[in-house]
Amino acid sequence: MGLALAEARRAETRGEVPIGAVLVKDGTILASAGNRTREMSDPTAHAEMLVIREACHILDNERLTGCDLYVTLEPCTMCAAAISFARIRRLYYGAQDIKGGGVENGARFYNQPTCLHAPEVYPGFREQEAEDMLKAFFRTKRL
């Protein structure tokens, strides 16, 4: 989660919402990224989507079976669906996203009968640090 938080800080320096993600398989980091939606003019360029795309390319497979994803904020519904479709084994996340989350808040994608694969979900990893970073970022935007 430390590397995901570092990616979030780098995203913030680029003017992006500070969210970072890291994808790991068998103890090896396959991909890490921070949000790039503004930089890429792409609403799907969330940190989770970027690491999923990169890891699929590296493994030359659309399935990321046996992989674990670490992300600083509860994934939105789009990212939760991508995690499911990629068959990611475990999801570890930091802060909850009460407004936009898709895992334990909002749509609760993995609880839907149409969800074909749900990862093991472990919330709250370095939650306060991730939450504080997001709150500080948005506080500067509201000035």
Q: Which residues are catalytic?
A: 48
Q: How far is CA 89 from CA 1, 9, 65, 103, 120, in A?
A: 16, 26, 6, 15, 6
Contacts of 71 (CB under 8 A, 6+ apart): 4, 19, 20, 21, 22, 47, 48, 79, 91, 92, 93, 94
Whether the Cβ atoms of residue 21 and residue 33 lie closer than 8 Å to each other: yes
Whether the Cβ atoms of residue 48 and residue 82 lie closer than 8 Å to each other: yes
